[in-house]
């Protein structure tokens, strides 16, 4: 008799609510062992492999690659009996037991202290089931829009709430602004959200604040490959489920010049032949939300400094030949990172964050140095924990490992959180400088521009020197102009004359 267990998508980072299945590493019929990687999942922060909490035979893969799945949703079924062939359809009682079964304590998805679920990083979501709401008719939606809103206990980690915190209050005279992504959202946004509820819906809510058409995973992939928006397709199947025939019918109705695509505001936008629409998800979605939150929460100020770094570049050549740096890249970024760490030790307020909830400034005891890295999936900012404790050689190795791991898309979720200050190296693209946006939760970010040979006044004469530009953006709630200027000047002083580092 088969012993079926379903593995639910865990929270692979602090507070994540969904993830996209990039690829399956197993197939139906495969024998798997405990901790064997089952699939690769991309979250808002990184791509990670999910290990199996069970040993047995894979009987069903519940989602196709490319599907975005809510945390707490079953993604794979494993038969602990170990039969090599896929198990036949189980009776209702067997299916129920498979869904309710829990992995052993300590395994991913299993019980953890405090009633939580074991995850790869952090404490994880609460142990509640992710349930699909019953479909509503137009009449029921209209009635709900006028009725008082009664909310269940919030559970944003497992997908058990109807919508994220932004929309979890009813618009009334007592409603206060709520914080979401660092922004202050007031009653106007809440009222707008409630008005949208009155629009008749023919699709099922998928548990994270947006509606999703009813279609099976193969049909979704079929539509995605052909560029068809399922939100604009009327399903002919039972309960309005969209079929392949509906996709083909939608394709045949598209004019040759292009097609109109309905946007969230109800307006139509023309998509011309040759245009490409890229879904906003994963790292790109997280980056966009973080940048908007930062730009409209922290009052940014940016200062610039042009520095003669000829001595630094000569020191770089000398250090590269030393035994302790053999096999390690001695880059200009290494010196910028060390200069920032020394300057932050002198000006600790720069390495701090604003706590809106407690109305306090948190001055961090250690520098978790973030390095902005461009990857095929978008911009990520992994960080080195307590970077100030590292020697110059250790810092060089850590920077190389950090950037290589990020570009490979293998950064651990723990390395993507907890940063306190960031460097963005725009010089690798031949850019002189920029006005960088703060990483949310941090008070400063330093842009390092390209090192160029330029005419420079040196010892009273015009000479060709190696010059770079620095751009420092800081949160003016925490860092005053004087403090920001002194910090940037100290970084520039160390880069101009590395010997001054002995005085820090």
Q: Is the dihedral of CA 430, 436, 438, 439 positive or negative?
A: negative
d(CA 231, CA 212): 7
d(CA 58, CA 87): 9
Q: Are 426 and 434 in contact (CB under 8 A)?
A: yes
d(CA 384, CA 45): 16
Instruction: Count the residues in the chain.
Output: 504
Residue that has been written with the tokens 């530009």 in this structure: 469
- Give the three-state DSSP class for 388: helix
Q: Are 233 and 223 in contact (CB under 8 A)?
A: yes
* Nearest alpha-carbon partner for 333 in 425, 436, 468: 425
pLDDT digits (tens, 9 = 90+) for 149-175: 443 433 433 344 443 343 333 334 343
DSSP assigned state of 198: T
What pLDDT was estimated at residue 188?
41
Q: Is the dihedral of CA 314, 316, 320, 324 positive or negative?
A: positive
Distance of CA 473 to the CA centre of its chain: 22
Catalytic residue among 208, 300, 347, 476: 476
d(CA 432, CA 39): 41
- For the chain, residues with pLDDT lower than 50 are 83-100, 106, 113-133, 135-210, 256-259, 264-267
- Residue 347 known to be catalytic: no
Whole-structure pTM value: 0.54
What pLDDT was estimated at residue 68?
86
- Give the three-state DSSP class for 366: coil
Other beta carbons within 10 angstroms of residue 364's beta carbon come to 18
Residue that has been written with the tokens 């995605």 in this structure: 224
| Torsion, CA 397, CA 403, CA 408, CA 411, rounded to 10 | 90
User: Quick one: tokens of 497?
Assistant: 């004359």
CA distances from 93 to 74, 88, 99, 273 (A): 17, 14, 10, 51
Residue that has been written with the tokens 């703060």 in this structure: 438
| Burial class of 192 by CB neighbour count within 10 A (0 to 12, 13 to 18, 19+) | exposed
d(CA 465, CA 453): 5
d(CA 291, CA 293): 5
DSSP assigned state of 494: H
What pLDDT was estimated at residue 163?
38
Other beta carbons within 10 angstroms of residue 23's beta carbon come to 12
User: Quick one: tokens of 419?
Assistant: 């940063």
pLDDT digits (tens, 9 = 90+) for 99-154: 445 555 545 555 554 444 444 444 344 444 444 445 444 444 444 444 444 434 33
């Amino acid at each position: 008799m088969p012993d079926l267990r379903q593995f639910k998508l865990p929270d692979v980072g602090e507070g994540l609510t969904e993830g996209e299945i990039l690829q399956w590493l197993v197939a139906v019929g495969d024998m798997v062992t405990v901790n064997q990687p089952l699939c690769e999942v991309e979250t808002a922060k990184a791509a990670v492999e999910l290990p199996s909490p069970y040993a047995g035979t894979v009987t069903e893969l519940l989602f196709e690659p490319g599907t975005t799945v809510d945390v707490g949703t079953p993604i794979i079924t494993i038969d602990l009996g170990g039969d090599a062939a896929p198990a036949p359809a189980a009776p209702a009682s067997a299916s129920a037991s498979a869904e309710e079964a829990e992995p052993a304590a300590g395994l991913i998805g299993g019980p953890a202290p405090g009633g939580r679920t074991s995850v790869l990083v952090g404490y994880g979501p609460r142990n509640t089931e992710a349930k699909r709401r019953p479909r509503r008719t137009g009449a029921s939606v209209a009635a709900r829009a006028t009725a008082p809103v009664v909310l269940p206990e919030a559970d944003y980690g497992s997908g058990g709430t109807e919508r994220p915190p932004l929309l979890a209050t009813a618009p009334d005279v007592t409603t206060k602004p709520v914080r979401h992504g660092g922004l202050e959202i007031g009653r106007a946004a809440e009222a707008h959200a409630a008005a949208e509820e009155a629009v008749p819906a023919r699709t099922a809510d998928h548990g994270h604040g947006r509606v999703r058409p009813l279609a099976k995973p193969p049909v979704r992939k079929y539509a995605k490959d052909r560029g068809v928006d399922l939100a604009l397709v009327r399903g002919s199947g039972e309960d309005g489920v969209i079929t392949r025939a509906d996709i083909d019918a939608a394709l045949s109705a598209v004019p040759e010049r292009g097609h109109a695509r309905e946007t969230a505001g109800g307006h139509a936008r023309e998509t011309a032949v040759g245009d490409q629409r890229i879904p906003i998800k994963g790292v790109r979605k997280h980056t966009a939300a973080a940048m908007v939150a930062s730009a409209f929460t922290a009052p940014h100020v940016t200062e610039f400094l042009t520095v003669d770094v000829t001595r630094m570049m000569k020191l770089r050549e000398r250090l590269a030949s030393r035994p302790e740096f053999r096999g390690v890249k001695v880059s200009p970024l290494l010196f910028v990172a060390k200069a920032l760490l020394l300057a932050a030790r002198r000006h600790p307020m720069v390495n701090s964050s604003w706590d809106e909830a407690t109305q306090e400034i948190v001055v961090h005891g250690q520098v978790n140095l973030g390095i902005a890295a461009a990857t095929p999936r978008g911009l990520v900012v992994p960080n080195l924990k307590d970077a100030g404790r590292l020697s110059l050689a250790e810092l060089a190795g850590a920077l190389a490992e950090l950037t290589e791991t990020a570009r490979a898309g293998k950064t651990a979720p723990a390395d993507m959180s907890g940063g306190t200050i960031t460097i963005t190296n725009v010089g690798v693209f031949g850019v002189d400088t920029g006005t960088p946006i703060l990483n949310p939760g941090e008070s400063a970010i330093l842009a390092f521009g390209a090192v160029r040979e330029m005419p420079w006044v040196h010892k009273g004469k015009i000479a060709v020197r190696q010059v770079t530009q620095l751009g420092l953006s800081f949160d003016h709630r925490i860092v005053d102009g004087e403090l920001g200027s002194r910090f940037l000047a100290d970084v520039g002083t160390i880069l101009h004359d590395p010997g001054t580092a002995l005085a820090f």
